[in-house]
Amino acid sequence: MEKRLSKKQTIKFTPGSIIVGKWHKKQYQIIRSLGFGARGTVFLAHCEHGRVALKFGFDNAGVTSEVNVLNKFSKVQGESLGPSLYDVDDWVTRKEVYAFYAMEYISGSPLLECIRVKGFEWTTIFILQLLKDLGRLHEAGWVFGDLKPDNLVVTSSPLKVRWLDVGGTTPIGRSIKEYTEFFDRGYWGFGTRKAEPSYDLFSVAMIFVNATDGCKMEKGQDPEKKLIRHIQSHRKLAPYADVITQALYGKFSTAGQMRRALLEQISETPSRARRISKVRMIKRKSKRKAEWKGTLLLVGIILLAYTLYVALFIM
């Protein structure tokens, strides 16, 4: 086992290792690592209640902050926004004391993997779900902050987007404390890192971009123009370009506004598709009519030539 003392080090457990809380005496058996981020390391573990996600923070303050966020989430009206919180305790070794908490283990498929399997058209469904939950979060006075596909999972029966890591969640009005460059508006030059609803909505727009074949764009020398050009020209993104662009430029003040705009865009897309299909059908009919006329003309010419041949050489 390797103790985690800083962000540059890693805490590891052998599968089967037993963790016992100092205060509540609850026992957890480590199954495997689920990943690590800027504020801690998460493990899948088994306890008397079943499987849980066990997170060890870099410091007590970080753990306390995340626990407070999870407690806030549980008080937001409606379905739980993030994982349910089960336990908060310390794990004592011979040399160190590690703060940790146990939370609901959300089993599902990573967002981008789910989109890849089901098709890009599912992106809008998941984005609409995400915007609904973000609206409730913002109304409660918080911004998700580090919003990206890695922090989102799709559960089954029914298919539902759930949040995994709340480490970047920040009270509205403060500075974003954790972010990932590709989904950060400050990185692309579209605004500040102030915690406000429009910051999360920029990240939602970038999730849209990231969902196209799961690729990430390079920033380049003129990131703003490059990003807008990519959105307008990409065949998958073009139908939603207006909504995505408005989100990038902070035109939506609430998640509800963006959600309504996206719903309107979706409702208009089939009509536009039908109009395009009708135009193409008319063109095809005109082309077939012209081809038929050409065929009749050619047959007429052949018949006339044959008649002249018979009249001149046979009769």
Tell me the Ramachandran region of residue 249: left when phi exceeds 0, alpha when psi lies from -120 to 50, beta otherwise. Answer: alpha
Q: Which of 146, 165, 184, 200 is catalytic?
A: 146
Helical spans, DSSP H, in 5-143: 60-75, 111-118, 122-139
Contact 70, 85 (CB under 8 A): yes
Torsion from C-alpha of 94, 95, 100, 102, nearest 10 degrees: -20
Enclosing H/E stretch for 188 = helix 185-188
Enclosing H/E stretch for 265 = helix 255-309
Residue 146 falls in the annotated catalytic set: yes
Instruction: State the DSSP code for 175.
Output: B
H helix count then E strand count, the chain? 8, 11
Q: Which residue has the tokens 């480590």?
A: 30
Nearest to 130 by CA among 183, 181, 173, 176: 183
**Pairing relation of β-strands 160-163 and 97-104?**
unpaired
Contact 113, 61 (CB under 8 A): no
Active site amino acids: 146
